[in-house]
Amino acid sequence: MVRIAVRYRIKRRLFSIGEDYWVEDEAGRKAYKVDGKILRIRDTLILEDPTGQEVATLRQRLLALHRTMDIERLGERLATVRRALLNPLGERYQVEMANGGTLEAHGDITNHEFEIRDGHEVLAVVSRAWFSLHDTYGVDVLRADQTPLLLAVAIAIDHLHHEEAERRRE
C-alpha cells in the first residue's frame, strides 16, 4: 500500500500569551489553530480547524506520576500521552488509545526527530530538519483519517517534553 504523506508545519511561539499558534499545511495555508488557554489550573490546548471548530482538546493531568496529557474530542477521551518509564534505546512516549490500542513515539524527541508508530506501521514522522527556524518543526502525516489525532499527539509530546526540560533547568 502506497501512502502519501501530508506535511504540516508547526511554528510554536514560546513566549506568546496563551501560546496560540497555527499549524500550516505544506502550501502555507492555515490548517489548524492551537489555542492555548490561559488562567486555567492545568495546561489546556485546543486544536481547532480554520473555521474555529474544535477537533481535539489536550489537557494536562494534575495528579499523575509522570507528566501526562489527555487528548479529547467533544468531552470524550481519545488518547493519553506520557513519557515511557524505562527506555534504554532513547526517548520514547506512549500513547494509550481509549479503544485499547497503544501508539509509540520514539527517536530524538529533544530535536524533534521521531516517528509515531502503531506497532511496525509508521503513522507520522516529526522532523525539525525540514525547516531552518529553531521553533519550527514538521509533521508528515501518513494516515489522513487520523490527522487531528496525530497532530495532537505531536503537539502533546512537544508540550510535555518542553515542560520537562524547563523543570530540569530550574
CA dist 127 to 45, 85, 166, Å?
A: 21, 23, 21
Cα–Cα distance for residue pair 58/73, rounded to 1 Å:
9
Q: What angle do CA 78, 79, 82 make, to 5 degrees?
A: 165
| pTM exceeding the 0.85 threshold for the entire prediction | yes
Residue type, 14: L
What Rg, from alpha-carbon coordinates, does the chain have?
Answer: 15
28: left (phi over 0), alpha (psi -120 to 50) or beta: left
What mean pLDDT comes out for the span 76-97? Answer: 85
Residue 162 has pLDDT above 90, yes or no: no
Q: Give the per-residue pLDDT at 15.
A: 46
Task: Domains for the chain: give ranges and CATH numbers.
Answer: 6-169 (3.20.90.10)
Residue 1 has pLDDT above 60, yes or no: no
**Residue at grid coordinates 524533534:** 112
Q: Are 139 and 17 within 8 A, CB to CB?
A: no
DSSP secondary structure code for residue 157 in this structure: H
Q: Give the per-residue pLDDT at 40.
A: 54
